[in-house]
């Protein structure tokens, strides 16, 4: 890998900025002063320092966000703000993308990473990764709905959804529920409730596999995954 690419990836500015750092004699590789910012290095082996401080090579980034409403789960959008816009330039630098989509009005757990293999595993229909949502539903959710979810609903386009676990938290004019699904079809939870004649008025994702939304994260806040969460991500790759 080129030294300027590594340093740019690790947040030391653009390749041009790196060139300036090198010119100012601020960069060493294995304790020798660098002359050419385009020199080839082996990131796992070579010791790169800027101003005497070791630059740790991290090719991947894993972020947990509490997605706020009003943002699109994409890297760019012509009309709306995206979840990537929320990230600091240091994090944007890694070019992370959201793993799966939450609707614009949906809140809660969203993983952002540049690790395509992990994203693929988490989203693969074969893996049956469980996703738990909390929702408020307009209308009374009944045990009959619980049974219908458990036996697999047919959605508006004829798609047969896999069985889902529906738990009623409270039932009334507006009901509160938790639902666990293993798929991620477009508007899946909303369409499942439409299939039983009800409307989702608020939706928040709480879990994805073994990742649980950190309650300390306010809407629009995010943090890097902790070692335990990273272990889970490595385990399913
Ligand atoms: N199901 C939905 O309907 N919307 C989401 O954002 C996620 C799951």
Q: How do 107-113 and 199-208 pair as beta strands?
A: parallel
* CATH number assigned to the domain comprising residue 106: 3.30.70.580
Residue 104 per-residue DSSP state: T
55 C-beta neighbours (distance < 10 Å), count: 19
Assess contact for 140 and 172: CB atoms under 8 A. Answer: yes
Task: For residue 57, name the pLDDT band (cuts at 50, 70, 90).
Answer: confident
Alpha-carbon distance values, 85 to 98, 188, 203 (Å): 12, 25, 22
Question: Are residue 134 and residue 204 in the same domain, yes or no?
Answer: yes
Long-range CB contacts (< 8 A, 24+ apart) of 29-34?
29/3, 34/3
Assess contact for 108 and 102: CB atoms under 8 A. Answer: yes
Question: Are residue 151 and residue 198 in the same domain, yes or no?
Answer: yes
Question: Are residue 113 and residue 164 in the same domain, yes or no?
Answer: no
> Residue 186 and residue 191: Cα distance in Å, rounded?
8
CB 132 near ligand 1, within 6 Å? no
pLDDT tens digits, 71-105: 999 999 999 999 999 999 889 988 999 999 999 99
What the block records as the tokens of 152 is 């697999």
What would the mean pLDDT of 196-221 be, rounded to a whole number? 98
Query: How many angstroms does the Cα of residue 49 sit away from the middle of ligand 1?
Result: 45
Task: For residue 8, name the pLDDT band (cuts at 50, 70, 90).
Answer: confident
Query: How many angstroms does the Cα of residue 186 sit away from the middle of ligand 1?
Result: 7
Question: Are residue 23 and residue 138 in the same domain, yes or no?
Answer: no
Question: Are residue 151 and residue 168 in the same domain, yes or no?
Answer: yes
**56 has pLDDT over 90:** no
pLDDT of residue 49: 97
Question: What's the pTM value of the predicted model, to 2 decimals?
Answer: 0.86
Annotation says 51 is catalytic:
no
What would the mean pLDDT of 213-224 be, rounded to a whole number? 98
> Residue 212 and residue 210: Cα distance in Å, rounded?
6
**13 has pLDDT over 90:** no
Closest approach atom of ligand 1 to CA 205: 7
Question: Are residue 48 and residue 159 in the same domain, yes or no?
Answer: no
Question: Are residue 225 and residue 116 in the same domain, yes or no?
Answer: yes
Domain hosting residue 193, numbered range: 130-208
Alpha-carbon distance values, 9 to 84, 97, 125 (Å): 17, 16, 32
Question: Are residue 15 and residue 82 in the same domain, yes or no?
Answer: no
pLDDT of residue 141: 98
What would the mean pLDDT of 218-232 be, rounded to a whole number? 96
CB 37 near ligand 1, within 6 Å? no
pLDDT of residue 93: 84
Question: Are residue 223 and residue 199 in the same domain, yes or no?
Answer: no
pLDDT tens digits, 140-193: 999 999 999 999 999 999 999 999 999 999 999 999 999 999 999 999 999 999
Question: Are residue 134 and residue 203 in the same domain, yes or no?
Answer: yes
Closest approach atom of ligand 1 to CA 200: 3
**2 has pLDDT over 90:** yes
How many domains are contained in the chain?
Answer: 3
Ramachandran region, residue 149 (left: φ > 0; alpha: ψ -120 to 50; beta: rest): alpha
What the block records as the tokens of 147 is 């049974």
Question: Are residue 86 and residue 71 in the same domain, yes or no?
Answer: yes
What the block records as the tokens of 170 is 């409270």
Question: Are residue 190 and residue 141 in the same domain, yes or no?
Answer: yes
Q: What percent of the chain has pLDDT over 90?
A: 90
CB 73 near ligand 1, within 6 Å? no
- Residue of 100, 136, 188, 194 with the most ligand 1 atoms within 8 Å of its CB, for mutation: 188
* CATH number assigned to the domain comprising residue 23: 3.10.290.10
Averaged pLDDT score across all residues of the chain: 96
* CATH number assigned to the domain comprising residue 184: 3.30.70.1560
Closest approach atom of ligand 1 to CA 102: 6
Cα 212 versus chain centre, distance: 12
Query: How many angstroms does the Cα of residue 233 sit away from the middle of ligand 1?
Result: 22
What would the mean pLDDT of 12-28 be, rounded to a whole number? 94
């Amino acid at each position: 890998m080129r030294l300027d690419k590594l340093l740019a990836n690790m947040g030391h500015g653009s390749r041009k900025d790196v060139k300036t750092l090198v010119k100012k004699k601020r960069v060493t590789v294995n304790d020798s002063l660098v002359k050419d910012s385009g020199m080839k290095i082996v990131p796992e082996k070579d010791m790169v320092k800027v101003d005497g401080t070791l630059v740790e090579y991290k090719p991947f980034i894993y972020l947990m966000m509490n997605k706020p409403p009003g943002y699109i789960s994409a890297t760019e959008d012509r009309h709306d703000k995206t979840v990537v816009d929320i990230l600091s330039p240091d994090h944007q630098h890694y070019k992370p993308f959201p793993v799966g989509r939450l609707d614009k009005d949906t809140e809660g757990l969203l993983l952002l990473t540049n690790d395509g293999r992990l994203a693929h595993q988490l989203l693969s229909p074969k893996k049956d990764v469980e996703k738990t949502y909390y929702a408020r539903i307009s209308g009374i959710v009944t045990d009959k709905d619980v049974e219908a979810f458990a036996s697999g609903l047919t959605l508006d386009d004829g798609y047969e959804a896999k069985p889902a676990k529906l738990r009623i938290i409270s039932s009334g004019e507006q009901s509160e529920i938790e639902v666990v699904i293993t798929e991620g079809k477009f508007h899946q939870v909303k369409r499942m409730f439409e299939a039983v004649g009800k409307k989702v008025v608020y939706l928040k994702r709480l879990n994805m596999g073994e990742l649980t939304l950190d309650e300390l994260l306010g809407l629009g806040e995010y943090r890097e995954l902790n070692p335990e969460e990273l272990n889970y991500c490595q385990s399913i790759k």
